[in-house]
Chains A and B, each alone.
Chain A
Amino acid sequence: MKTLILMAVLSLSTLAHASYFQTECSDARQNIKYNHGQMDNSLTVTVNSIDGESVPMTMDLSNLEIENKSETNIKYSNVTQCNENGGGAAFISSTDVFEIVITSLDGSGFPAETRGLSEDGKSIEATIVCEHQANYLASCQPQPELQ
């Protein structure tokens, strides 16, 4: 029984380490930085300080809605590498551009000095480029032999 539990724990541990995904996004001026995935989940906006300096401000993601208004794929790659035992790994990478609108779930506005702020101060709009990286364990089916 202990052996079974140990094997299960080892298997889960292997699976957990084998898969990975992370997306990093930013707009052209680096006013908005939006990351989501296993390593980093954060949204940073830029606020103009009184002396004109740009100050990054990390937002509370739990109180935000990030709506995709449009999405354009620039590049997509999905490569599976197989080993002799029929196992393997898939590596995915993509580059996309999103037009996003950020609003507060509670309806509150954002600081007036926030870059990209809408006229009513209730939303932040941005066009961001995102790089997505992912990999996971993949089973490699043997290819049927050609007749």
Chain B
Amino acid sequence: MKTLLSTIALILISSVSHASFDKTKCGNSDGTVLTSALQGASGQHDLITIDGKEVDRRNISIKVISESILSQSSRDICQGNSGHTSGETLSVQKVNIASTDGSVILNGQIQLEANLICERTFNFLTFCRNPE
């Protein structure tokens, strides 16, 4: 019985982790600033590329000065009591990017401001209370 339950639990956890993700990709108008964040079973990362070079994220701080949501949507897809919620958000963020170790980021500057357009997509497993 224990083995059966463990197997079911493992399968469920495995399904959850494979199905869930939350990723956001941002870039500015000339492509000099690109960010990519991913959290999910397939892995996770938090990357920033400035002027074509990937910068060590540990030495960079990113502060969102303002954010404007352009569109957002999400939907639940249910099969019985189980299902998933998936959605997208499109936004524009004004960010301040600064090096925390004093190193130059771009054009001799240790900090810069950028207007980023960001696409966030997510997919979470969800419990459906009213199965269709």
Contacts and interface: CB of A to CB of B under 8 A. Distances in A.
A75 B115 contact: yes
Say whether chain A's binding surface is mostly helix, strand, loop, or mixed: strand
Interface stretch (B2-10, B22-30, B73-81): B22-30
A128 interface: yes
B115 A74 contact: yes
A128 B30 contact: no
A74 B68 contact: yes
Contacts of A131: 28-30, 115
A97 B92 contact: yes
A26 interface: yes
Interface size classification for chain A: 10 to 19
A38 interface: no
Contacts of B29: 24-26, 95, 128-131
Given A127-B117, A129-B92, A129-B115, A28 B27 contact: yes
Contacts of A74: 68, 92, 94, 115
Interface string A19-57: 000001111111001000000000000000000000000
Nearest to A34: B29
Given A24-B29, A25-B29, A74-B92, A127 B115 contact: no
A26 B30 contact: yes
Contacts, number: 59
Interface string B4-18: 000000000000000
B119 A28 contact: yes
Contacts of A13: none
A72 B29 CA distance: 15
B34 A129 contact: no
Given A75-B115, A128-B117, A129-B92, A28 B70 contact: no
Nearest to A131: B29
A27 B70 contact: no
9 contacts: A28-B119, A30-B31, A72-B70, A72-B92, A95-B92, A95-B115, A97-B70, A97-B92, A129-B115
Interface of B: 25-31, 34, 68, 70, 90, 92, 94, 115-119
Q: Which 4 A-B pairs have the closest CB atoms?
A: A129-B117, A28-B119, A131-B29, A24-B29
